[in-house]
Homo-oligomer: A and B are copies of this chain.
């Protein structure tokens, strides 16, 4: 155990430095691995990310998805089958070209998957033959590699990240469109309800779609510095891939048709960045109970010669571990105060303190990580603990929702837009002409404001002119600076 040092900067004063310190001091990731853009994910992030994966996998399976594992290496010939897709991803590919002691060259270069459409859909063409084989709904939990040009930061952006990718094929366009909505519901049930992260799904503008998609719908949240972070996206692929990959089937009417496809990709390591940023406070990480890698820490306050505290703690531990992940920190080399700081920095939702006085009074002290509130509970009152955990979960979600709402704005005038993006950030509603060139110009003039698209499922009719070029506006969109 190294010397302990807390977070030395306020989150509201310097979010960037605060984030860097939390990642390092709560031992979430180590950036010293000697390949640029690659980090080591350490136990205190992996345990929580594993729970996040589990929540997402359960939700996907409850909606009829099944797990698979596809090779991480994709032959160049597969990779180049869909022209827009290859154009979008080619610059970011790591290529395997050689094997062994550097003499054997592979016949065909192999791409380390940046995403798996071109690995999976070649197999889909073998598996899909009849309408009976549809829908085909498969997902895999894996990592992907992208040779990012942008600056990397742990969890937010890296050259290797961990995600789930779900790839679905249907017999009709209607079913594919319905799947996009199901993916949004999956996102709501998991990332909002369990991880406590609010978002809005935007239909991205034409020039910012997933390479090869008909439409891209992406969830954006707002980080504490006012910049948006993209969470999962779901893509309507139409028949753009089924045609080059030859995914076709004999329908009930005996005619041959190409499948309609969608894909959905929650990047868990990136969503974890939102968990750090939105729930954390000046003491460090704060984890929602539903996903916390460790939910409860019990700190016994030990007095020389007293054995009653440890006995009581051991009984409490046995009761709690049936329902919660719980750890008794009975290390002798550290003081209770040191331990309080240690576990607060790591974001464990609930601390239970038990000292000789508590043994005498048949009580325990519950300390909420989110509010710092101390609650005296009867020593047998396990239900109280469950209800406090529920309160913590609810409170974190509520606070994050409120922050998100506060950061949605509407601006009619370009100078005001520039000013708000500079000073406060957030997602700002504007009207736009629909031209990519105009969007590029706005990005330049606002020092990074990017059009996120139209809000999915909300008919917002343009009434005025484009905030930048003053020509007739084509749509009501949101603009924000982004990670």
Task: Give the interface of A toward B (CB within 8 A).
Answer: 1-2, 30, 32-35, 38-43, 46-47, 50, 66-75, 77-78, 90-102, 109-110, 112, 119, 122-123, 126, 129-130, 132-133, 138, 143, 145, 147, 160, 162, 333
Q: Are B110 and A99 in contact (CB under 8 A)?
A: no
Q: Are A47 and B67 in contact (CB under 8 A)?
A: yes
- Residues on B with C-beta less than 8 A from A32 are 123, 126
Contact of A78 among B34, B50, B145 (CB under 8 A): B34
- Residues on B with C-beta less than 8 A from A41 are 68-70
CB A462 to nearest CB in B, in angstroms, measures 38
CB A61 to nearest CB in B, in angstroms, measures 9
Describe A's contact surface by its main secondary structure: mixed
A132-B71 contact given A96-B94, A100-B90, A101-B90, CB 8 Å threshold: no
Bound: A97/B95 CA distance, A: 6
The listed residue with most B CB atoms (<10 A of its CB), out of A72, A130, A133, A160, is A72
The residue in chain B whose Cβ has the minimal distance to the Cβ of A45 is: B69
- Residues on B with C-beta less than 8 A from A77 are 34
User: What 3 A-B pairs are tightest by C-beta distance, nearest first?
Assistant: A43-B66, A41-B69, A38-B71
Q: Are A110 and B35 in contact (CB under 8 A)?
A: yes
The residue in chain B whose Cβ has the minimal distance to the Cβ of A37 is: B71
The residue in chain B whose Cβ has the minimal distance to the Cβ of A73 is: B35
- Residues on B with C-beta less than 8 A from A109 are 98, 102
Contact of A91 among B30, B47, B78, B101 (CB under 8 A): B101
- Residues on B with C-beta less than 8 A from A129 are 2
